[in-house]
Amino acid sequence: MKFSFFAKFYKYYFKVKRTEINELLKTTEAGHKINVKGWVRTKRGSKNVSFIALNDGSTINNIQVVVEMNEENDKLLERIHTGAALSVDGMLIESAGSGQRVEVQATKLEILGEANPNEYPLQPKKHSLEFLREKAHLRYRTSTFSAIGRIRHAMIFAIHKFFNDRGFYNVHSPIITGSDAEGAGEMFQVTTLDLENMPKNPDGKIDFSRDFFGKAANLTVSGQLEAELAALALSKVYTFGPTFRAENSNTTRHLAEFWMIEPEMAFYDINDDMDLAEDMLKYVIDYALEHCMDDLLFLSKRLEEEEKNKKADERSMELIEKLRFVLDNPFERITYTEAIDILKNSNHNKKKKFQYLIEDWGADLQSEHERYLVEKHFKKPVILTNYPKDIKAFYMKQNDDGKTVRAMDVLFPQIGEIIGGSQREEVYSKLADRMAEMHIPEESMWWYLETRKFGTVPHAGFGLGFERLMLFITGMGNIRDVIPFPRTPQNLEF
């Protein structure tokens, strides 16, 4: 009785605390007791000894656990397979094998959670990205998705740091909205009305006055309009929130739910806006190169492997080289009109290689055109400005030519449009006229218009699609693989 009490006491007070694997792998002095916890990536063995590669998500790298065969360990090892969770007490020793500096000589193994190899879907072999999308609840356990998870965090942090260091305030814009910010009409409706039994007005239309908010409500497509309200008092603000678009585009670059960063700055014109966008993109790329190199090197190898069967001219630039390239070169800045001239006169257009041929000024650019400008013509990121007003939103600052607006889109290799922004129309009458022309109801936007009535000033902003940025940084080809649980048409698992 007494003995058992002391045994418990001893165990509690002298239990070695857990060290995370990234810390263990950095240790230069070996030869001390440690405890490590994680999930088994692989197990292989010989007659006398087993090797377990353990990973806890703190780094892309595994730590090797060496287990000597004896009666007790044999029984445990039989139950340890890929995917199992372990706690290992042992000695951190210098590794004799190549590839790692240190390893763990296990003195005590504890199985925290088993993973039956007949059922666990992630076996130690190459799985396709499509297969892993169906196993999104487990895919963080793979090297690829843990690397993406860590980089995603680093990019969120870098974006907040970039703005904080420059005196911007982060503002929360609402997620449920009573207005259609972009006038695009691709919104998800929010209601508590009984869909089986909708209250109707005498004219047969739905009576939204009986809905939760007393009017029709939607999920926001952008935080911009509210960010503008804040910028017209706080000067420099940014939002970083989820946005929702019910566009039925099943592409590798569209999500129904994605995250957007929207800075908005009073007293900025379109050129200040472009400078900020370029600075921000370069800052976060630089941050990734400085803080995520292990993960980037892994993803670079993954990409190389994936593209090894492609023809040389179809392969992407090596990932880290590509990031450095964007960092080191000024973005090309041209007008929409110049871009149309380039596209119209391109061999690509003449040989009818575009799906949508460019014929006239005024055409909306498709991602094939954007990528042509970036990848084939300029071979670097491009910022396009002064688009035709008819293909852009109502709030953009109108140029004196009466035809164009002070929009700016940043186009990236592999992605196409990564940022969309503009200087805003700050003149009350011009904005009100444009809203009327575009049938934007003034009664739901009166508050936005009022900012142009009281102390209006020139201002500008932009929106960065966070997952498009993640595509670029990670070199992944499908936007469904850079957000943990993607929402796309006909897809709402997890």
**Structure tokens given for 448:** 């936005």
> Is residue 418 near ligand 4AD by the rule CB under 6 A?
yes
- Which residues 431-490 are close enough to bind ligand 4AD by CB under 6 A? 461-463, 465, 467-468
In the list 53, 255, 296, 365, the residue contacting ligand 4AD (rule: CB under 6 A) is: 255
**SS3 of 384, please?**
strand
Nearer to ligand 4AD (CB atom), residue 84 or residue 419: 419
**Structure tokens given for 142:** 């793979």
What is the distance in angstroms between the CA of the first residue and the CA of the last residue of the chain? 49
Among 137-145, 207-215, 283-291, 420-428, which window interacts with ligand 4AD (CB under 6 A)? 420-428
Among 42-50, 297-305, 411-419, 486-494, which window interacts with ligand 4AD (CB under 6 A)? 411-419
Number of residues that bind Mg ion (CB under 5 A): 1
**Structure tokens given for 97:** 């094998």
Shortest distance in whole angstroms from residue 423 CB to ligand 4AD: 10
Nearer to ligand 4AD (CB atom), residue 298 or residue 387: 387
The residue assigned the tokens 């843990």 is 146
**Binding string to Mg ion for residues 389 to 428, with x set by CB under 5 A, is what?**
-------------------------------x--------
The whole-angstrom separation of Cα 346 and Cα 321 is: 28
Cα dihedral 280, 286, 289, 295 in deg (nearest 10): -10
Nearer to Mg ion (CB atom), residue 90 or residue 413: 413
Query: CA–CA distance from 139 to each of 62, 103, 484 (Å)?
Result: 17, 26, 9
The whole-angstrom separation of Cα 54 and Cα 52 is: 6
- Which residues 192-251 are close enough to bind ligand 4AD by CB under 6 A? 222, 224, 245
**Structure tokens given for 22:** 């990234």
The whole-angstrom separation of Cα 330 and Cα 175 is: 35
Instruction: Please choose which of ligand 4AD, Mg ion, none residue 258 contacts, taking the beta carbon within 5 to 8 angstroms, the exact cut-off set by kind.
Output: ligand 4AD
Nearer to ligand 4AD (CB atom), residue 65 or residue 435: 435
SS (H, E, C) 303-341: HHHHCCCCCHHHCCCCHHHHHHHHHHCCCEEEEHHHHHH
Nearer to Mg ion (CB atom), residue 240 or residue 287: 240
Binding site for Mg ion (CB under 5 A): 420
What residues make contact with ligand 4AD under the rule CB under 6 A? 182, 222, 224, 245, 254-255, 258, 260, 262, 417-422, 461-463, 465, 467-468
